[in-house]
């Protein structure tokens, strides 16, 4: 089956399958600095490139782990995983989340997500609680940066 056939009505058929691999998404130091400001976590290892290059065990600034996680809805949207028979979804939270390694920013990095449909739970009236597993990769590395399971509570389109 192709991605375009994934509907709320048949999502259970795709459980356990990899739904896709997103395109690479660039992240640079400016974005990390803004994330630090918005989350009030502007620490030197994330936002002070000069000090990090001199003192950090990683040799440069590192991306916030929560920044990786905040990209999950973007990755789902980028891959077109919003079912056409769904009206909207609400973020229902996260299950297992692991930041597997620090990612240095340097002059910029690129991330992508390998997305698998982990589970679908029928909530009645066409509503579904869908869990997608995301393995976040960094260009140029064989080791993933993070793993997270994202829960989306989907509401069907009115008939």
Q: Where residue 130 sits, what CATH number does that domain have?
A: 3.10.129.10
- Does residue 35 belong to any structural domain of this protein? no
Token reading at 92: 């229902």
Q: Percent of the chain having pLDDT more than 90?
A: 91
42, part of any domain:
no
Q: 19 burial class (0-12, 13-18, 19+ CB within 10 angstroms)?
A: middle
Say yes or no to pLDDT of 131 above 60: yes
Whole-angstrom distance, CA of residue 46 vs CA of residue 64: 7
What is residue 1's predicted lDDT score, i.e. its pLDDT? Answer: 37
Of the CA atoms within 13 Å of residue 11, those in its CB half-sphere come to 28
**Helices (runs of H) and strands (runs of E) counted in the chain:** 5, 6
* Count of CB atoms situated within 10 Å of the CB of 101: 14
Give the model's pLDDT for residue 110: 94
Q: Are 45 and 56 in contact (CB under 8 A)?
A: yes
Please check whether residue 46 is in contact with residue 62, taking contact to mean a CB–CB distance below 8 angstroms: yes
What is the arithmetic mean of pLDDT over 138-158? Answer: 95
Closest CA to 31 of 17, 18, 16, 42: 42
Number of domains in the chain: 1
Task: Output phi, psi for 5, to 5 deg.
Answer: -90, -5
Tally of CB atoms within 10 A around 131: 20
48 domain-assigned = no
Is residue 135 included in any domain, yes or no? Answer: yes
**Model confidence pLDDT, tens digit, residues 29-71:** 999 999 999 999 999 999 999 999 999 999 999 999 999 999 9
Give me the domain span that covers residue 17.
3-24+71-156
Decide if pLDDT at 22 tops 50.
yes
pLDDT of 2: 44
Chain mean pLDDT for the chain = 94
Would the pLDDT of 3 be above 60?
no
Which residues share a beta bridge with 25?
111
Question: Regarding beta strands 146-156 and 109-124, do their DSSP bridges make them parallel or antiparallel, or are they unpaired?
Answer: unpaired
């Amino acid at each position: 089956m192709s991605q375009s056939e994934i509907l709320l009505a048949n999502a259970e058929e795709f459980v356990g399958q990899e739904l896709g691999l997103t395109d690479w998404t660039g992240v640079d130091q400016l974005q990390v600095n803004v994330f630090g400001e918005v989350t009030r976590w502007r620490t030197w290892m994330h936002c002070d490139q000069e000090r990090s290059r001199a003192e950090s065990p990683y040799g440069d600034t590192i991306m916030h782990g929560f920044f990786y996680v905040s990209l999950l809805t973007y990755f789902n949207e980028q891959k077109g995983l919003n079912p056409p028979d769904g009206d909207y979804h609400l973020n229902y939270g996260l299950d297992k989340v692991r930041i597997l390694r620090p990612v240095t920013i340097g002059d910029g990095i690129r991330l992508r997500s390998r997305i698998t449909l982990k589970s679908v739970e029928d909530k009645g009236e066409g509503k579904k609680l869908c869990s997608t597993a995301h393995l976040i990769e960094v260009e140029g590395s064989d080791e993933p940066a993070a793993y997270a399971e994202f829960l989306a509570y989907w509401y069907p389109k009115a008939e």
